[in-house]
């Protein structure tokens, strides 16, 4: 196993470099492209931030694989190394385009496909979350943990699925639940780890949750996720996370919601 303290230093440098480019981008005219759907957009800042991260990681660990969100070539992790970096250079691109602050960088280091180090950095808010496997989770160097809840009626739920199915029909939740949407998967996950919300459900990609999963586990939360297509590292996945006191109830509710929206099922990875 490599020295994780050194990996943390490298990742923090990479995140700060990407974060600096993101902050500069708030004052620039953005070049926006649509990817898979009108709401799935990318800017030149996304790609430049990813390049900044990859340059620093490759300089420190030239033999490691890298899986990044932006660019087909970068997504293919062809290296045979047991170590792989999984990066999302700018999570919350729509927020960024609208000049909203909930925008972040996600960097995870995996060993044999298990995340051993995770980092989330929010440059506008100047919040850096870090976690190592078995070593706890920190925000700006201060230990954090989940705030447990045993009553769904008292829970704050972030980033759950749409309330309409593919045909536009209303899909209802149990009454009285409190929802918060931040427009950024890693923001919701960081807030769960820090005790600000109690549950998160996402349909996302590995680069969205590779670091966040470790943060939540190290903070005392529970996580389950599954790939829509087993073995597809670039494909979509379904992610459930919550505090222990409501996890089972929340996961059942959120899974039913996802099934109603998609008409499909999933086998979760705990």
Report the percent of the chain where pLDDT is more than 90: 68
96 within a domain of the structure (yes/no):
yes
220 within a domain of the structure (yes/no):
yes
pLDDT in tens, 219-259: 999 999 998 888 787 788 999 999 999 999 999 988 888 88
Last residue of a domain, one of 88, 119, 140: 140
Q: How many CB atoms lie within 10 A of CB 238?
A: 24
How many distinct structural domains can be found in the chain? 2
229 within a domain of the structure (yes/no):
yes
Residues 176 and 136 in one domain: no
| C-alpha 169 chain-centroid distance | 28
Is the per-residue pLDDT at 77 higher than 90? Answer: no
267 within a domain of the structure (yes/no):
no
- Look at residue 136 in the predicted model and tell me its pLDDT: 98
| CA nearest neighbour of 15 among 76, 78, 57, 58 | 57
| CA nearest neighbour of 145 among 216, 222, 251 | 216
Residues 173 and 245 in one domain: yes
What is the enclosing helix (H) or strand (E) of 45? Answer: helix 44-60
- Look at residue 266 in the predicted model and tell me its pLDDT: 46
Residues 131 and 157 in one domain: no
246 within a domain of the structure (yes/no):
yes
Q: First and final CA of the chain: distance in angstroms?
A: 23
Is the per-residue pLDDT at 74 higher than 80? Answer: no
What is the enclosing helix (H) or strand (E) of 127? Answer: strand 127-132
Last residue of a domain, one of 140, 161, 181: 140
Which residues sit opposite 237 in a β-bridge?
Answer: 204, 227
**Burial 108-129, CB ≥16 within 10 A → b, else e:** bbbbeeebbbbbbbbbbeeebb
Residue 260 — very low, low, confident or very high, per pLDDT cuts 50/70/90?
Answer: confident
Give phi and psi for 177, each to the nearest 5. -85, 145
CB–CB of 225/237 below 8 Å?
Answer: yes
269 within a domain of the structure (yes/no):
no
Residue-range definition of the domain harbouring residue 55 = 4-140
Residues 89 and 112 in one domain: yes
Residues 48 and 163 in one domain: no
112 within a domain of the structure (yes/no):
yes
Average pLDDT, the chain: 89
145 within a domain of the structure (yes/no):
no
How buried is 171 (Cβ within 10 angstroms: 0-12 exposed, 13-18 middle, 19+ buried)? middle
Last residue of a domain, one of 109, 140, 171: 140
CA dihedral sign of residues 95, 101, 102, 107: positive
In sequence order, the 6+-apart residues with CB closer than 8 A to the CB of 230 are: none
Residues 196 and 239 in one domain: yes
Secondary structure of residue 111 in the 3-state scheme: strand
Residues 162 and 35 in one domain: no
More confident residue, 192 or 32: 192
Whole-angstrom distance, CA of residue 200 vs CA of residue 3? 31
Residues 179 and 226 in one domain: yes
């Amino acid at each position: 196993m490599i020295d994780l303290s050194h990996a943390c230093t490298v990742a923090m440098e990479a995140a700060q470099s990407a974060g600096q480019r993101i902050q500069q981008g708030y004052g620039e005219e953005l070049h926006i492209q649509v990817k898979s759907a009108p709401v799935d957009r990318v800017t030149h800042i996304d790609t430049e931030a990813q390049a900044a991260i990859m340059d620093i990681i490759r300089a420190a660990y030239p033999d490691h694989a890298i899986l990044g969100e932006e660019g087909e070539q970068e997504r293919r992790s062809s290296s045979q190394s047991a170590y792989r970096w999984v990066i999302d250079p700018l999570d919350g691109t729509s927020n960024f385009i609208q000049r909203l602050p909930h925008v972040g960088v996600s960097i995870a280091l995996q060993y044999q496909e298990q995340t051993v180090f995770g980092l989330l950095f929010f440059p506008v808010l100047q919040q850096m979350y870090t976690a190592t496997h078995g070593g706890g989770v920190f925000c700006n160097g201060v230990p954090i943990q989940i705030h447990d809840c045993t009553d769904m009626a008292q829970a704050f739920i972030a980033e759950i699925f749409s309330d309409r199915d593919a045909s536009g029909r209303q899909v209802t939740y149990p009454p009285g639940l409190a929802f918060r949407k931040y427009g950024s998967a890693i923001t919701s996950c960081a807030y769960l780890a820090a005790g600000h919300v109690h549950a998160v459900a996402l349909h996302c990609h590995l680069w969205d949750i590779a670091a966040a999963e470790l943060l939540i586990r190290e903070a005392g939360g529970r996580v389950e996720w599954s790939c829509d297509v087993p073995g597809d590292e670039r494909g979509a996945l379904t992610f459930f996370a919550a505090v222990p006191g409501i996890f089972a109830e929340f996961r059942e509710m959120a899974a039913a919601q996802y099934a109603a929206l998609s008409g499909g099922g999933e086998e979760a990875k705990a």
